[in-house]
Amino acid sequence: MAMSRIRDVMSSDVVSVGPNAPLKDVARLLVERGISGVPVVGGRGEVLGIVSEADFLAKERGPRGIARRPLSALFGESRETREQLAKLAATTAGEAMSAPAVTIDADRPITEAAALMADRRIKRLPVTEDGRLIGIVTRADLIRAYARTDEELAAAVRDEVLYQTMWIDPRTFEVDVRDGVVQIAGSVGRRSTADMIERITSLVPGVVGVTADIKWELDDRDIEAPPADYISSYRAPRTH
């Protein structure tokens, strides 16, 4: 499906560090680049984790900022507490990073990135291709994608939805966008195609609503494929 992808909005000028990078160097990098986090990558470019401002705050709070389990001397600390104590003692990016990192493939739709950031409550996502880091996408990148003008949205519906995804000549449809609401009209052969056009249009980043007037000739909602045993038993008629 040729919808707006992560690679279309991500920043390819991504800063990363190795797991052995000193934390002081990482802190300096965050300040100099004005960023809130940096991916930690291995020797093959794979994302191992993320060092963010939150990881430095854990060190700033010190031992008193870490919740300790009652009777921890007897039963041991919780996994979360052990992780926080490890961050407190960390001196390198690999020791301080949060892992495993949440990443997203470059060819995934940007709606998926938005949902992932909201669900995980994170501000940035390393973008990968074939398992290697190639960029980063932030909340600001997604907001810019959703802030497209009505003219840009109309062009996206014609190109991304009708032409690239549905293989329909956009010139056979009327597409108008006002304040993010798409009005789309035309005709297709099947009802399922009409429904799909409306549904995919609603997923275009920046679209806030869809009013569809798409006529169809065949209602194929209840058409089912014949059972497998029928197909396997079918024999073409003999010709003489």
User: What is the domain-level CATH number for residue 206?
Assistant: 3.30.1340.30
Q: What is the mean pLDDT for each group of 10 consecutive residues in the chain (240 residues)?
A: 74 93 92 91 94 77 54 53 66 89 91 88 92 93 86 93 93 95 96 94 88 94 61 48
Q: Report pLDDT for 49.
A: 94
Query: What is the number of structural domains in the chain?
Result: 2
Task: Map the chain to HEC letters.
Answer: CCCCEHHHHCECCCCCECCCCEHHHHHHHHHHHCCCEEEEECCCCCEEEEEEHHHHHHHHHCHHHCCCCCCHHHHCCCHHHHHHHHHHHCCEHHHHCECCCCCEECCCEHHHHHHHHHHHCCCEEEEEECCEEEEEEEHHHHHHHHCCCHHHHHHHHHHHHHHHHCCCCHHHCEEEEECCEEEEEEEEEEHHHHHHHHHHHHCCCCCCEEEEEEEEEECCCCCCCCCHHHHHHCCCCCCC
* Domain residue limits at 137: 6-145
CA dihedral 131, 134, 138, 144 (to 10 degrees): -120
Q: Report pLDDT for 81.
A: 59
Q: Report pLDDT for 234.
A: 44
What is the distance between the alpha carbons of residues 140 and 35, in angstroms, rounded to a whole number? Answer: 12
Q: Report pLDDT for 2.
A: 45
Q: Report pLDDT for 231.
A: 42
What is the distance between the alpha carbons of residues 89 and 235, in angstroms, rounded to a whole number? Answer: 74
Does one domain contain both 25 and 96?
A: yes
Quick check: is 238 in a domain? Answer: no
What is the distance between the alpha carbons of residues 22 and 93, in angstroms, rounded to a whole number? Answer: 6
Does one domain contain both 20 and 134?
A: yes
Picking from 36, 37, 43, the residue whose alpha carbon sits closest to that of residue 18 is: 43
Q: Report pLDDT for 183.
A: 97
Does one domain contain both 81 and 172?
A: no
Quick check: is 54 in a domain? Answer: yes
Does one domain contain both 129 and 15?
A: yes
